[in-house]
Amino acid sequence: MINLGYSNKQDMKTLFYSFLMLLYFVPQVDAQDIKGSWKGDLKVMGQSLPLIVHFEEQNGEWTGKMDSPSQNAIGIPMKKVLANELMVSFEMSMGNAFYEGVLTNDEIKGNFSQGGMKLPLDFTRANPEDIQKKEMPKRPQTPKAPFNYEIQEVSFENKSDNITLMGTLTKPKGEGKFPAVVLITGSGPHTRDHEILGHKPFWVIADYLSENGIVVLRYDERGIGESSGDFSSATTFDLKNDVASAIDFLKKHPLVDLGKIGVIGHSEGGLISWMLGSEENDLSFLVSLAGPVIPIKELMTKQTEELARVSGLPESVVKSEVNKNKQVYQAVIDSQSDEEWKAALEPIFEANLKEMYVPENMWASQMTSLRKAYESQLTPWMVNFLKMNPENYINNIDIPVFAAFGTKDLQVAASQNGNRLIELFEDKPDLLTLKVYENLNHLFQTAQTGGVDEYGKIEETFNEKVLSDMVKFIKEQ
């Protein structure tokens, strides 16, 4: 899904350089031209995400906010808005996300970009009835001062990639040696708090763990927030190396018990936990929260099916999408280059259009749309991700593991992944603590359907029973 959480992208100078040059040569637009509210629909994985943007002119500078009504995300601030009589551009106050569009006749035509993915997004003037007057739902678990632990802003280096990662260390008060963990975010660009739709789950986790005697390090991913580097070109292996650097940082901290260092990874971060657990000799334990276990191509196929079905699509469309994506994933896995998989997708798309009875006079436009949709999503990260099989790493793990899944998780299915994990630990059952939580979704919130549209509507950020079980596991190591 598109990440509408908040973060602080440090430097967008290069992204806006060409646009700024236009500002020098084109007269500034009058404030009435873009002032007000605009509506558009962002097409993501076959689903439509309604968005509303609001622009105001203050003291000669533009400001803006975005609403995502279906996700209950209201008033998300824009960090930078630039405009002239030809173009509109804005950067969101979240990791690696920006928009550039052309302004013509009360319409803005452009592209929304995030994490290496570029999607078409057009806006038209919004009517008063389009604008939902809502406030962001409450987030009662977001930590509030005073804190019963110390907070320290820290930095550490991934020397092999010449990257500086900025983070926050929460540590219990006192002089003793404490267990310590690194938090690993899921897929997509994230700040240290893993911010999504006003929720800050990694801050909630860090707060709970440090209140209970555990040192926690969380950090902005490379190229996000205050960290240097480039996120859009990073693969899972690159992100794993960043975590290894974080572990090295903890090993040098005077308050950390060197015999009790672990990692807690969510989703893709859970996969990275498996990777580190199979090779990182200094880890004492690992926690995988909704971490994939089955081969990623199977995981993605199941995810397509579950999300499409819960969104209300007809069963015939669900089956068609699953079949198409299964073939696409296999074509990518079998290919040795971008050119090879792009060519391999053509007959798959043609067969899909025939299956869906698309008129032949519409094929050209539909083929173009399919190419753009898949090529924007099949980034270097995704191509690498699809080829991965977590089982290859899990088989080599010989340290204690806490693995958690939710029964309402539609992205990493509990039964499919949990059962396979039990099989993989059949020869070493004492190392595995497996928990399956009723009615929890992919973010470990209590949910009704598990659909992504619920994430922002739910007030709970992270279920406290899972937090309690994690603390118990860590303290037993």
| Rounded distance between C-alpha atoms, residue 86 and residue 375, angstroms | 28
Domain assignment present for 429:
yes
Whether the predicted pLDDT of 474 surpasses 60: yes
Same domain, 261 and 315: no
Distances (CA, A) of 53 to 50, 94, 219: 10, 15, 30
In sequence order, which ranges of 2-106 are alpha helices (DSSP H)? 13-25
- In angstroms, the CA 431 to CA 422 distance is 11
Distance, in Å, from the CA atom of 101 to the CA atom of 86, rounded to the nearest integer, reads 9
Determine which helix (DSSP H) or strand (DSSP E) holds 66, and give its type and residue range.
Answer: strand 61-68
Query: Rounded to an integer, what is the distance from CA 443 to the centroid of its chain?
Result: 11
Express each pLDDT in 234-279 by its tens digit.
Answer: 999 999 999 999 999 999 999 999 999 999 999 999 999 999 999 9
Give residue 25's domain range.
13-130
Domain shared by 223 and 364, yes or no? no
Average pLDDT for residues 146-152, to the nearest whole number?
Answer: 97
Which domain CATH number covers 106?
2.40.128.120
Of 44, 46, 50, the C-alpha closest to 126 is: 50
Dihedral (CA of 191, 387, 423, 400) sign? negative
Task: Tell me the three state secondary structure of residue 180.
Answer: strand
Contact 63, 56 (CB under 8 A): yes
Count of H-run helices and E-run strands, the chain: 12, 16
Using CA atoms, how far apart are residues 117 and 2, in angstroms rounded to an integer? 10
User: Are residues 97 and 153 both part of a single domain?
Assistant: no
The answer to whether residue 400 sits within a structural domain is yes
- All residues at 6 or more sequence positions from 476 whose CB lies less than 8 Å from its CB, including other chains: none
Residue 218 lies in a domain: yes
Q: How far apart are CA 174 and CA 257, in angstroms?
A: 13
Lowest mean pLDDT among 4-13, 59-68, 255-264: 4-13
Going by DSSP bridges, is the β-strand pair 256-266/285-289 parallel, antiparallel, or unpaired? parallel
Is residue 113 predicted with pLDDT exceeding 70?
yes
pLDDT at 31 over 50: no
Local confidence band at 93 (pLDDT 50, 70, 90 cut-offs): low
Tell me if 315 sits within 8 A of 332, measured CB to CB: no
470 and 373 share a domain? no
Shared domain check, 375 and 275: no
Judge whether 312 lies within some domain: yes
Query: Any idea which residue has 């873009």 for tokens?
Result: 34
How much is the pLDDT for 28? 38
Domain assignment present for 136? no
- Structural domain total, the chain: 3
In Å, how far are 44, 91, 118 from 112, measured between CA atoms?
11, 10, 6
Residue 235 inside a domain? The answer is yes
162-208 per-position pLDDT tens digit: 999 999 999 999 888 999 999 999 988 899 999 888 899 999 999 99
Instruction: Record the tokens describing residue 184, joined without a space.
Output: 């690993």
- Whether the per-residue pLDDT at 11 is higher than 80: the answer is no
pLDDT of 100: 86
- The token pair at 118 is 């570029």
How large is the average pLDDT for residues 26-30? 37
Residues 124 and 263 in one domain: no
The two structure tokens encoding residue 301: 């196929």
Cα separations in angstroms, 119 against 12, 33, 281, 356? 19, 24, 42, 23
Pair 269, 307 in one domain: no
With respect to residue 143, please indicate whether it lies within any of the assigned structural domains: no
Q: State residue 452's pLDDT score.
A: 83
* Spatial strand order in the sheet of 215-219: 149-158, 163-172, 215-219, 178-184, 256-266, 285-289, 401-406, 432-437
**Domain end: 386, 417, 445, which one?**
386
Q: What is the DSSP string of 292-350?
A: --S-HHHHHHHHHHHHHHHTT--HHHHHHHHHHHHHHHHHHHH-SSHHHHHHHHHHHHH
Q: Which residues contact 288 (CB under 8 A, 6 or more apart)?
A: 265, 270, 273, 274, 401, 402, 403, 404
Q: Could you tell me if 188 and 120 lie in one domain? A: no
Residue that terminates a domain, selected from 340, 360, 386:
386
Cα–Cα nearest to 418, from 288, 236, 303, 310: 288
Amino acid at the residue 91 = E
Mean pLDDT of the chain: 86
DSSP symbols for 402-436: EEEEETT-SSS-HHHHHHHHHHHTTT-GGGEEEEE
Q: Which of the listed residues 386, 405, 433 is the one where a domain comes to its end?
A: 386
Task: Looking at the structure, tell me whether residues 304 and 254 fall in a common domain.
Answer: no
Do 100 and 57 share a structural domain? yes
Non-local (6+) Cβ contacts of 272 within 8 A are: 184, 236, 239, 240, 243, 263, 265
Kindly state whether residues 241 and 168 are assigned to the same domain.
Answer: yes
Whether 190 and 291 share a structural domain: yes
pLDDT at 274 (0 to 100): 98
Eight-state DSSP code of residue 190: -
Q: Quick one: pLDDT at residue 450?
A: 93
Q: Which two structure tokens, joined as six digits, stand for 117? A: 């993915």
d(CA 225, CA 168): 12
Q: What is the pLDDT of residue 312?
A: 78
CATH assignment of the domain containing 193? 3.40.50.1820
- Give the separation between CA 266 and CA 183, rounded to whole angstroms: 8
Q: Is residue 88 part of a domain?
A: yes
